[in-house]
Chains A and B, each alone.
Chain A
Amino acid sequence: MRRPSTNTSHAVMTPILPNSMALEAYRSLRFNIECSVFGRDAKTISITSSSRGEGKTTTAVHLAVAYAQIGKKVLLLDADLRNPSIHFVFDMENRRGLTNYLEGQATRHEIVRETIVDHLSFISGGPLTQNPSGLLASQRMDTLLAELSEEYDVIIVDTPSLLTISDAKIMATKCDGVLLIIEHGQLKRNVAKKVKEELALANAKLIGVVLNEVTNHPANAYL
């Protein structure tokens, strides 16, 4: 079933709106990541949150665009195999993606796609599969990441939420760093501690925390 792909709606335009307050925040996030991982090469960044709907995909897309805007070669990888959604943002179909590669049905070159944003490439999640965790943990995934990190400057990996399924932890261990998205006023203190413990157990490196959906933040006044 093919989606009509004629118009460029808000969903597509959002990442490249030049003067939005949110975009400025993502630019500063990019800068802060570069500063905070000084000396160490953080090529693969996995993005997760404690629960659904805290803004993982949005952050992944915007951060990737922010990197692409400074001329870095960026790959956006949708590793949320249970509910892949980044392809909607770029108005693409999801017939061929990560699962096809991991199941050996496609090569790496067949699944990487160019987007309307310069320097930004994209791998969609692919058709739904029976065993997403197993596929992500497989040797093929390691190979893919190793090959991609030679070809690209930055790899942004969108993953499912951390506390419900193990996919995000698997990806966190495979990536150089984890970016944790926290929705303002939604994450309870004890849940946050649990998230931190889970990341420590997986031996993942937490690059930083993004506070999302902030209202009345003093910084808003400057933007």
Chain B
Amino acid sequence: MEINLKEYFMLIKKRWWLIVLVVSVCTLLTTLYSRSNYVPIYQASTKLIVNKTSEQGQLGKEQIDFGAIGVNMSLINTYKEIIKTPAIMDKVVQRNPDLHVTTDQLISIVNVTNLNETQVMSVVVRHLSHERAVRIANAVSDVIQTEIPNIMKVDNITILNRAKVQDNPTPVNQKSNQYIILSFVGSLAATIGIILLLDALDDTLKTDEDIREIFELAPLAYVPKMKSSLLYAKRKRKVKNREEELAYAKTIY
């Protein structure tokens, strides 16, 4: 089938009002939906440093064991997994009954990350409430600090900074226009598709080829659409007169 872009363009132009209507309704509904369903999520984080017990050097000074740094870094990877097990989380729940969270919930909202190949790791908590995110982050960090040495025999976990409650916390998830844009593009494409489909299904007579095919005659004339103002004046008049005519007819019979 020959693809005639100009023809398609004319079709779409003819029903531009349908496109405007459908696209604006879809976009508006999506906008309302995404605005009303927007729930801000807040994030709080603490930083901890992990260091293996330093050994006393020959001169009685503490020396930095450069090999131990690498060991510590790989230890953090182990910790990341340990922290996200009930071994730690159960204790967080036990010690902080006022948080009203279950172990499973904790595991899902707490994230432990290794900061750029350093001995520092970060405990990141996401929660609908900024204040509770801060409290959970701090509680988890405290438990890590006390429990990890028991499990791993590493006694030097220090909390670098604790999470603080901010006055105007910014949510980590921005109000996104993603769905609105998707809805706009989607409805536009769908409407154009429907218009083209309607045209494909439309089997009315339009061109002289259509007429020649059925009647085996070429059209004798093409009468263009007349100005609607002329026709309107005529129609209005007709309707009015028809009523009078009926009344007249009734008087006869």
Identify the 6 closest CB pairs spanning chains A and B, nearest first: A29-B221, A208-B220, A10-B233, A32-B220, A11-B234, A189-B203
Could you list 21 A-B pairs, sorted by A, with CB under 8 Å?
A: A1-B244, A1-B251, A9-B233, A10-B229, A28-B221, A85-B238, A127-B252, A182-B211, A184-B206, A185-B202, A193-B214, A196-B215, A206-B217, A208-B218, A209-B219, A210-B223, A211-B208, A211-B222, A214-B222, A216-B10, A217-B224
Determine the chain A residues whose CB is within 8 A of the CB of B10 once the complex forms.
216
Among B223, B229, B241, point to the contact of A55 (Cβ < 8 A): B223
Name the residue in B206, B215, B220, B229 with the highest tally of chain A Cβ atoms < 10 Å from its Cβ. Answer: B220
Q: A1-B244, A189-B203 are in contact. Are A21 and B224 (CB under 8 A)?
A: yes
Question: B212 CB to closest chain A CB, in angstroms?
Answer: 9
Q: Which of B218-253 contact A (CB under 8 A)?
A: 218-226, 229-230, 233-234, 237-238, 241-242, 244-245, 247-249, 251-253
Question: 20 new A-B pairs (CB below 8 Å) besides A3-B241, A28-B221?
Answer: A10-B229, A14-B230, A21-B224, A26-B221, A29-B221, A32-B221, A127-B248, A128-B253, A179-B220, A182-B219, A189-B203, A189-B210, A190-B203, A196-B215, A206-B215, A206-B217, A212-B223, A213-B224, A215-B224, A217-B222
Among A26, A29, A128, A220, point to the contact of B249 (Cβ < 8 A): A128
Are A211 and B221 neighbours in the complex by a CB distance under 8 Å? yes
Determine the chain B residues whose CB is within 8 A of the CB of A211 once the complex forms.
205, 208, 211, 219, 221-223
A188 in the interface, Cβ–Cβ < 8 Å?
yes
**A20 to B225 Cα, complex, angstroms:** 11
A187 in the interface, Cβ–Cβ < 8 Å?
yes
Determine the chain B residues whose CB is within 8 A of the CB of A223 once the complex forms.
224
Q: What is the 8 Å Cβ interface bit string for chain B, positions 70-93, against chain A (1 contact, 0 not)?
A: 000000000000000000000000
Category for how many chain A residues contact B? 35 or more
Are A208 and B234 neighbours in the complex by a CB distance under 8 Å? no
**A84 to B205 Cα, complex, angstroms:** 28
Question: A84 CB to closest chain B CB, in angstroms?
Answer: 8
Among A22, A188, A193, A209, point to the contact of B224 (Cβ < 8 A): A22
A192 in the interface, Cβ–Cβ < 8 Å?
yes
Are B224 and A25 neighbours in the complex by a CB distance under 8 Å? yes
Q: Which of A33-82 contact B (CB under 8 A)?
A: 33, 36, 55, 59
**A210 to B215 Cα, complex, angstroms:** 12
Q: A208-B219, A217-B222 are in contact. Are A189 and B214 (CB under 8 A)?
A: yes
Are A214 and B204 neighbours in the complex by a CB distance under 8 Å? no
Determine the chain A residues whose CB is within 8 A of the CB of B244 once the complex forms.
1, 3
- The DSSP consensus for interface residues of chain B is helix
Are A187 and B222 neighbours in the complex by a CB distance under 8 Å? no
Q: Which of A8-31 contact B (CB under 8 A)?
A: 9-11, 14, 20-22, 25-26, 28-29
Determine the chain B residues whose CB is within 8 A of the CB of A55 once the complex forms.
223
Q: Which of A97-113 contact B (CB under 8 A)?
A: none
A94 in the interface, Cβ–Cβ < 8 Å?
yes
**A130 to B207 Cα, complex, angstroms:** 40
Among A208, A212, A217, point to the contact of B217 (Cβ < 8 A): A208
Are B214 and A196 neighbours in the complex by a CB distance under 8 Å? yes
Are B221 and A25 neighbours in the complex by a CB distance under 8 Å? yes
Q: A94-B245, A187-B205, A192-B205 are in contact. Are A33 and B211 (CB under 8 A)?
A: no
Are A182 and B224 neighbours in the complex by a CB distance under 8 Å? no
**A36 to B224 Cα, complex, angstroms:** 21
A201 in the interface, Cβ–Cβ < 8 Å?
no
Among B204, B219, B229, B251, point to the contact of A210 (Cβ < 8 A): B219
Q: Which of A108-130 contact B (CB under 8 A)?
A: 127-128
Are A185 and B224 neighbours in the complex by a CB distance under 8 Å? no
**A223 to B225 Cα, complex, angstroms:** 13
Q: Which of A173-213 contact B (CB under 8 A)?
A: 179-180, 182, 184-190, 192-193, 196, 206-213
A219 in the interface, Cβ–Cβ < 8 Å?
yes
Closest Cβ neighbor of A212 among chain B residues = B223
Question: B14 CB to closest chain A CB, in angstroms?
Answer: 8
Q: Which of B17-55 contact A (CB under 8 A)?
A: none
Question: A212 CB to closest chain B CB, in angstroms?
Answer: 5
Determine the chain A residues whose CB is within 8 A of the CB of B202 once the complex forms.
185
**A25 to B219 Cα, complex, angstroms:** 12
